[in-house]
Amino acid sequence: MEATLALACELIRRPSVTPEDADCQQLMSERLTAIGFTCTDMPFGDVRNLWAERSGSNAEGPIVVFAGHTDVVPTGPETQWQSPPFEPTLRDGLLYGRGAADMKGSLAAMVVACEAFVAAHPDHQGRIGFLITSDEEGPAVNGTVKVMEALGAQGKAIDWCIVGEPSSTSELGDVVKNGRRGSLGATLTVKGVQGHIAYPHLADNPIHRALPALDALAREVWDEGNDFFPATSFQISNINGGTGATNVIPGEVTVLFNFRFSTEVTDTELRQRTEAILDAHGLDYDIDWNLSGQAFLTPSGALVEAAVESIREVAGIDTQLSTAGGTSDGRFIAPTGAQVLELGPVNATIHKIDECVRADDLPRLAAMYRGILERLLLN
């Protein structure tokens, strides 16, 4: 079996449902140690993390890091899978299994790409690194963010980072994520006075008070976006209030909402403008904010150019740069000044029953990763 496909199968066999790693990182460490990487376990809480680093001819040169995660989402009802989710199965040119696309296929391609690159260029310039966590699909509090803090405390900085998230849409390499929108969530509690619904003058309905303010927030134009990002969006996801009885005015209502924001606005500005609107409506409220990640963008430079050229060489296509979609662990890496992009398999089946990836895409992805290394570390 082709090397990348074989390693992907070995990783899929390990049931690493978040935050479990199921010794996937140990398997990767063994392969990387064999080609001269120094591997360091960096556990935090119940999360396993791996930092691996290899120096070429210049130990002080720039470093290109492969970042990814060994954890996968739960399988859902296994009886609905055509084949067991942790038994990698080849069928009609596709590799089936939980994590095949998100993102054990990418991890295998990263390792095999490095094995081939080091074999051909043992004295390459600069350094190669791996930052692997088992806490990407979960809360993401003891994974990449903690490793980045630890690396920062050691004075280590990442120059270029390739995240193996499944970025492709229709065919391998057609889309590369060169940025992501920020995510800012909030829990808003609007307070009123509970009372009998027949005597509204003796109560204060917080739902009635909240609705005009929520409408104003939904109608607000937060920014116009830019060449790389759509306009910032505001979406309400939950509204909860009341006792369940039809004759009781509730004492409070809780609203959950989220901003997906561009680089045209900061999370601080969004908080201030939101609270100004709430204040203008005279609400008695509490609000708890949760910043999941800052917006980031890698518009141009050596990393993007290397990826575009490598994809063109391997797949014969011109890739599209995109910032669409949700968040990724790149949000923890980019704020340090690193150039970050995401390149991985087609994402059509991620998190679904019968997750799969085209089997012949995996060695081609390894070739793309190797091409990026060559363009960054051989010039």
Positions marked active-site = 71, 136
How far, in Å, are 140, 257, 267, 301 from residue 185 at the CA level? 15, 6, 10, 32
Residue 329 CB neighbours (<10 A) = 27
**Phi-psi sector, 60: left (phi>0), alpha (psi -120 to 50), beta:** alpha
Strand partners, 72: 17
**Closest alpha carbon to 294 in 187, 181, 185:** 181
113 vs 372: CA distance, rounded Å: 10
118 vs 220: CA distance, rounded Å: 53
3-state secondary structure at position 3: helix
H helix intervals, 169-301: 206-219, 267-280
Checking DSSP bridges between strand 49-55 and strand 127-133, what pairing results, if any?
antiparallel
318 vs 302: CA distance, rounded Å: 17
Checking DSSP bridges between strand 127-133 and strand 63-69, what pairing results, if any?
parallel
Copy the structure tokens of residue 286. Answer: 């509490």
241 vs 51: CA distance, rounded Å: 46
Contact between 263 and 232 (Cβ < 8 Å): no
**Amino acid in position 101:** A
146 vs 46: CA distance, rounded Å: 13
By the 10 Å C-beta count (0-12 exposed, 13-18 middle, 19+ buried), 194 is classed as: middle
Residue 267 CB neighbours (<10 A) = 18
Copy the structure tokens of residue 168. Answer: 């492709």
